[in-house]
Amino acid sequence: MWLYLAALVGLYYLVRWYRERQVVSHLRDKYVFITGCGSGFGNLLARQLDMRGLRVLAACRTEKAAEQLRAQSSDRLETVTLDIGKTESITAATQWVKERVGDRGLWGLVNNAGISGPSGRNEWLTKQDFVTTLNVNLLGTIEVTLSLLPLVRKARGRVVNVSSVAGRLSLGGGGYSISKYGIEAFSDSLRRELAHFGVKVAVIEPGSFKTNMSNTERVLRQIREGWNQARSEIKEIYGEKFLESYLKLISEHVLPAAEENLSEVTDCMEHALTACHPRTRYSAGWDAKLFYLPMSYMPTFLADAILTRGLPRPAKAL
């Protein structure tokens, strides 16, 4: 019996391996629009797809970042400045894309741009802190997608949304995890709606990687800013000792564990864009595959116990 079961499992993975190796034809004629190409995953993906021969339309937040990307790429790659937190910027970029793709439509839309946002304990933050992050990571992504969807539908193409393991497990306060949970929900509904038009939607769920968003100085500064604006009674409840222990945990244990090989993420993105049979979800990074993803299926009490183990206790905790 066990032999038959092993053979069945082996056959399943063999068929899946074969299907996932099939590549879409005429890639050199296909346009892909990527947001957040100034650094990190977006920057590497833009150069990676450019080398693959696709027609890359790369959106960067600043012209300086766009110039640097163009200097590292072929003449086929084109750039545009885009702030996905601003409707007028999205409108202008949408028109720019339309002028370039013409009747071919847009084969791929990669929603990669995002911010880590103000962070720290939820009680330290204000409503505006949450709004700032959600406006970019979630609402900005939704607006970009809705603006470009007619072009993607015309090409019967792909939408690739970058979520996070934080979209499965909330790993800290602030709007980041909330925005990524929202991306998961948006992607699910979009996938079902667009299946009727031949459009495929994939979600990338990276673990912890070393990018500008996870820069140690940046993260610690954002946490301190959250602490500094907290009400005096909240600071008294937590205490300065909690803050210092929390910062030490983040800087010495959490951030140093981040992976450096960003291609683990961009390879997933590339597969979602170029494979005939892309996956619905891609977990990138060993921490995502072996820790966060399995934990998201654990009983809540067990996941809570693991995630809070080693955390400092507030001064006035029970």
Burial class (CB in 10 A: 0-12, 13-18, 19+), 33: buried
| Lookup: tokens for 228 | 């500094």
Q: Residues 270, 112: contact at Cβ < 8 Å?
A: no
Q: Kindly report the CA angle at 189 between 147 and 106, in degrees rounded to 5?
A: 35
Which strands sit side by side in the sheet containing 158-162, from one edge to the other? Answer: 78-81, 55-60, 31-34, 108-111, 158-162, 200-206, 281-284
Neighbours of 298 (CB within 10 A): 13
- Helix boundaries (H) for the chain: 2-20, 40-52, 63-71, 87-101, 127-134, 141-155, 175-194, 216-229, 232-238, 240-249, 263-274, 286-287, 293-296, 300-308
Distance between CA atoms of residues 138 and 187, nearest Å: 11
Distance between CA atoms of residues 274 and 261, nearest Å: 21
Catalytic residue among 176, 238, 282, 292: 176
| Lookup: tokens for 43 | 């920057």
Give SS3 for 74.
Answer: coil
| Lookup: tokens for 184 | 């998961």
Q: Has 181 been annotated as catalytic?
A: no
Neighbours of 194 (CB within 10 A): 19
To 10 degrees, the CA torsion angle through 238, 240, 245, 246?
60
Under DSSP, the state recorded for 291 is I
Q: Kindly report the CA angle at 268 between 263 and 270, in degrees rounded to 5?
A: 90
Q: Which residues are catalytic?
A: 176
